A and B are shown apart, each in its own frame.
Chain A
Amino acid sequence: MNSNEMTMPRAIIPDTPGFHARRRLKQEAWFLLFRGAVVINGLALFIILGYMVYYGLPAISWDFLTGQPTEGGMAGGIFPCIVGTFYLSIGSMALALPMGVAAAIYLHEYAKPGLFMRIIRLCISNLAGVPSVVFGLFGMAFFVAARDLGGLGMGVSIAAGCMTLAVLILPVIIGTSEEALRSVPDTYREASLGLGATKWQTIFKVVLPSALPGIMTGSILSISRAAGETAAIMFTAAASYNPTLPSSIFDEVMALPYQIYSLSVSSTNPEASLPLQYGTSLVLVTLVLGMNLIAIVIRSRMRKRLSQ
């Protein structure tokens, strides 16, 4: 539009009550739509949870949670899956946490903005965006494959699964730890440095303790992420049927998410084990959402404390 043509005012903004009402109405209509979007999201969550609880709850019993699977996983309990998921998620967290926290400390406490920092950040965000099946293939070619094929020769095992998952959750841990470090006020650092402490002493004795709740949140979130991951453990750790508990970290394990997949898709008669699938899903969802809820509560408490 040509700027010296002043045709705007009269034509577009008539000052009548009807026009005002129409603008208000338009606003209300759009706001209703926005609320509708939120309701759809909420419904999606509650419908999915509702189905899992309604059909899954009847399948759950003490024997189901603590029993061995029988008939090739088509009946019996899911204890080995729970144990497997526990090993995989705790193991991967234990591997990724020190690395991730250290990386976050470097990024937030030491690094100066510049090209190197930009590259590291780019790598972290790209690592977070790598499809989980690609992690699975990477783990297979690197950790699982025999040495003469260019891998580390761990075989399909807990160890290989944990390492693959550790790479997958590394960005989660770095992100949340950095947020935790950012929430520590600079005055803490200044006070400690002012008293003559070195940078490392300041970080270790002042900054890290204050950031601990945030770091804990991150580790809980990463455990829950690892626990629900399927594609990354398919070729690195998971066995579809292995009723005995693993005796070493070089054993294959059953895992909850892989169990759901293998029963519902690749078994010969998925209908027959449907209650079992719902029950397993309910257990997994409860674990994952429970951990997320805990993380959310810790974080909101932390934020409240900070804003005071």
Chain B
Amino acid sequence: MLSRKNKEKAIKIAFLLAASASIIALGLIMYFLINEALPTFLGFDAMGEHFEGVSFVDFIFGDKWKPVSENPQWGILPLIMGSVWVTILSSIIAIPLGIMTAIYLAEIAPNKVREIVKPMVELLASLPSVVIGFFGLVVVAPILLDMFEIRFGVNMLNASIMLAFMAVPTITSIAEDSIHSVPTELREGSLALGATRFETIRRVVLPASLSGLCTAVILGMSRSIGETMVVLMVAGGAARIPNSIFDPVRPMPASIAAEMGETSFGLEMHYFALFAIAMVLFMITFLFNLLADHIAHKYKQVGSASL
């Protein structure tokens, strides 16, 4: 029988192990991504043949992604540009929308309205991505075809609009928290000096919550880059660098999800290359998250004294 003190210690260690599970999980994810991605660059042997790897630079900056042609080419620049453009375009829609909603919720809305709007934003966040993709495919695409003289209804614009509505709740909830945590004295001071409520929001509250707003924007964008089903279903799927917002694109997650089913496990370049894309995608979202975390910590407001 363990003594009372030792039992307490054992329990603490058990909890510590549980808490370490997320470190282990993240470590395993990285390990498997890197492990399966490396043969893309180092080459590998399969079915008695040796396959040469591609160089990392050619992989990232090559502008032709032709995995299944006679003479396959493994440049993922079109996929990266697809992701980048879709993310930028959706951010142009989502950032103003999300931050304005957050300002409304934190500063303007009467309690009763807030109690309705906040759950609404949460429900928007909880819509499964496949449903949003489906909506873009069967509702938004025909509308876009009607409105503009274009050949494809599933294109960059469509995907960006759908992604925007997935990013808005993320941006809104983080931004609202940070606006909400601005000390009341600051607002009172500004109002007492004769500023209007809007002037107070613009000149006092928003600058004071800037780090939180940045975190919100970064995490919102990170969500757009990694979102899979929407870009798989409504981005159009053409692996070309887009020239207009109506061009179909093939962002990285779409390429992975669409092509992984056709490859054979661990036996061909295509399989390893898709893991390499996933590794690039993971690194991008990882950096975004680190950046968000860094900003949140470095510029953390502690009361009103640190302003």
Residue A219, interface by CB 8 Å:
no
Residues in B whose Cβ lies below 8 Å from that of A150: 35
Chain B nearest CB: distance from A281 CB in Å? Answer: 5
B127 to A48, Cβ gap below 8 A? yes
Residues in B whose Cβ lies below 8 Å from that of A191: none
Give Cα A238–Cα B12 distance, bound, in whole angstroms. Answer: 38
B-side residues, CB < 8 A to A, are: 4, 7-8, 11-12, 14-16, 18-23, 25-26, 28-29, 32-33, 35-36, 96-97, 100-101, 103-105, 108-109, 115, 117, 119-124, 126-135, 137-139, 165, 168, 172, 196-199, 219, 222-223, 225-229, 232-233, 253, 256-257, 260-261, 265-266, 274-275, 278, 281-282, 285-286, 288-290, 292-293
Can you list 7 A-B pairs, Cβ within 8 angstroms, ordered by A?
A38-B105, A44-B124, A99-B21, A133-B256, A134-B226, A171-B22, A265-B232
A200 to B7, Cβ gap below 8 A? yes
B198 to A284, Cβ gap below 8 A? no
A45 to B128, Cβ gap below 8 A? no
- Given A137-B256, A137-B278, A231-B257, the answer on whether A130 and B285 have CB atoms closer than 8 Å is yes
B8 to A141, Cβ gap below 8 A? no
A-side residues, CB < 8 A to B, are: 23-24, 26-27, 30-31, 33-38, 40-42, 44-45, 48, 51-52, 98-99, 102-103, 105-107, 109-111, 119-120, 122-127, 129-138, 140-142, 145, 149-150, 167, 170-171, 174, 198-200, 221, 224-225, 227-231, 234-235, 257-258, 260-261, 264-265, 274, 277-278, 281, 284-285, 288-289, 292-293, 296, 300
Of the candidates B23, B172, B253, the one whose C-beta lies within 8 Å of that of A120 is B23
Give Cα A35–Cα B261 distance, bound, in whole angstroms. Answer: 45
Chain B nearest CB: distance from A19 CB in Å? Answer: 11
A231 to B253, Cβ gap below 8 A? yes
Residues in A whose Cβ lies below 8 Å from that of B97: 37, 40-41
Chain B nearest CB: distance from A111 CB in Å? Answer: 7
**Per DSSP, are chain B's interface residues mostly helix, strand or loop, or mixed?**
helix
A228 to B289, Cβ gap below 8 A? no
Of the candidates A30, A122, A134, A289, the one whose C-beta lies within 8 Å of that of B33 is A134
Chain A nearest CB: distance from B90 CB in Å? Answer: 13
Residues in A whose Cβ lies below 8 Å from that of B129: 132, 228, 230-231
B275 to A41, Cβ gap below 8 A? no
Residues in A whose Cβ lies below 8 Å from that of B282: 130-131, 134
Residues in B whose Cβ lies below 8 Å from that of A23: 196, 198-199
